[in-house]
Amino acid sequence: MHRGASVIQATIAPTADGWRLDRALADAVPTLSRERLKVLIAGGKVERDGQLVREPARKAAAGETFAVTVPDPAPARNEAQDIPLRIAFEDEHLIVVDKPAGLVVHPAAGNLDGTLVNALLHHCKGSLSGIGGVARPGIVHRIDKDTSGLMVAAKTDRAHEGLAKQFADHSIDRRYLAIVSGQPTPPAGSVDATLARSPQNRKKIAIVANGKRAVTHYRTVERLRRDAALVECRLETGRTHQVRVHMASLGHALLGDPVYGRTKQAHRALLETLGFRRQALHAARLGFIHPITKVALSFESTMPADMQELFIQLNV
C-alpha cells in the first residue's frame, strides 16, 4: 500500500494475449475502466518488474503481471452539500434526477458550490464515476442552468462509459418541452444545422458552416391563443443550446430566452407579471438502455409549476 494510493497486482489472462495493454488490464481489473487505465498508464502509475509502462497501446502478453497504482480520490474542491434532489430512479450504477431550473450542473467560475454535483456528492456519499475528474464526478451530460428536467449521472466508471457511448451513438431518447413565440408552420419538422461558438460572440452558439452536426426534430403539441405554442423537441444530437438556437433559427425563439430570444411586447408584459425569467424549456423525457443490466429504461417529467402557469396564461 502506497501512502495516498492502493496498488493492484494485475495478471494478463490467456484470452487477453496480444491485446492492447489498457484493454487487457481492464479485463484483469474489472473495477477499473479502460479509460481510467489509459490515464493511469500515461500518468506513470503502471509498472512491470519495477519499470514504468507508459504506452496504453503496448501489446500485452498472457501471464505478465503489472502493478497498477490507483491514487485515492483527491480531496474534492467540490464539497458534499445537502441540497434536495428529486430522484426519478436510482440503483448502484446510476441515478436519474429531475433538475429544477436555476440549479447549475457542476461547479465553475461564478458557481463554485450549490450545484447538482455538490448535491450528488452528498446523496451518493461520494460514490460517483471518476471519468469526469474531480470537477465533474458522475456527470455524463448537462442541461443548462435555467433549463429544468431529467438528467442521468453515473456512479461507476462502467456505467459512465456505457452511457457515454449511447450519447455518442445518438441512441438516447431525449425530448424537451418548449414554449415558443409564434406558431410553427409547418407544425412539425426537423432542423439539421451545424452549431459552434459564434465568431462574433464566444458566449453564444450559432449556426456556422464548419460547426458540429446538430439535428432537432420538433412537433407542435398545442397552439396557444396568445401567439405562442407548446412544442416537443426530440434531440438526435445533443449540442450546447441546440434547441434554443434551432428554434430561434425558425423564427420561434423560446419565451424568456435572454440570449437567443427577441421577446414580443405582449409576451414581455406577461413574463414580467409572472416573474418568469428563464428560457421556457424542460427536459421532459429521457430513455436509454441501462449500461449494466441492459434493461430499457424510460422516464417522464411533467412541466414545473412556472412553465405550467405560463402555458395557462398564454391560453386564456
Q: What is the DSSP string of 232-253?
A: EEEESS--TTHHHHHHHHTT-P
Residue 256, C-alpha cell as written in the block: 424568456
The answer to whether 17 is a known catalytic residue is: no
Residue 48 to residues 56, 65, 70, 241, Cα–Cα distance (Å): 13, 7, 15, 47
Which long-range CB contacts under 8 A does 190-197 form with residues at least 24 apart? 190/215, 190/216, 190/217, 190/218, 191/215, 191/216, 191/218, 191/246, 191/247, 191/249, 191/250, 193/245, 193/246, 193/249, 195/239, 195/240, 195/241, 195/242, 195/245
Residue 85, C-alpha cell as written in the block: 434532489
What span, in angstroms and rounded, lies between the C-alpha atoms of 198 and 206?
A: 5
The active-site residue out of 22, 98, 144, 257 is 144
CB 7 within 8 A of CB 75: no
CB 122 within 8 A of CB 147: no
- Strand ranges inside 35-132, DSSP E: 46-48, 51-52, 65-71, 87-90, 94-99
Please identify every residue annotated as catalytic.
144
